[in-house]
Structure 1
Amino acid sequence: MDDRLSKAEIRKDALQEIVESGASTVGDVTSIITTAVKDIANAIGGFATDVFEIRDGARRASKTLADDITDA
């Protein structure tokens, strides 16, 4: 009994490994990109929150200063 694989079966197995490896790599890259986009959106959102807080603080400070000037 001959247990050797035919050339066609060897090629099929090699192609199958290539496709599986490619699919795994695409999944890994997709996960990396998804995480990066999420982190970037989170960072930009945090920055926007800081800008709003700074703007509101500056408005309150200007109003307080204007009130102090009119009261004097």
Structure 2
Amino acid sequence: MTRPTRLSKAEIRKDAVQDTVTAAATTVGQVTAIVTGAVKDVAGSLGGLATELFEIRDSARRAMDDEA
């Protein structure tokens, strides 16, 4: 019969700290990816809005030129 391997308190603490740091790093990576994607989406939307505003301005100018 083999005896189960017993871990020291220091080994258990080391494993707990290692698992905590790994979990935190993974979460930070996931949140960073979410934020990066959101910033990209917002920039794209604002760029689309700017394009629309330029087109509206140009249409308004053409309409005013046609009136004159």
Q: Return 5+ residue gaps in structure 1 as ranges.
A: 67-72
1:46 correspondence with 2:48: yes
Q: Residue 18 of structure 1 aligns with which residue?
A: 20
Matches within 5 A, 1:22-33: 22-33=24-35
Bigger Rg, which one: 1
Aligned pairs, number? 66
TM-score of the superposition, structure 2-length normalised? 0.92
Matches of 1:47 and 1:54, distance apart in 2: 10
Identity of aligned residues (%): 61
Q: Residue 35 of structure 1 aligns with which residue?
A: 37
What stretches of structure 1 move > 2 A for 4+ residues in a row? none
TM-score of the superposition, structure 1-length normalised? 0.87
CA RMSD of aligned residues (A): 1.0
Q: Return 5+ residue gaps in structure 2 as ranges.
A: none
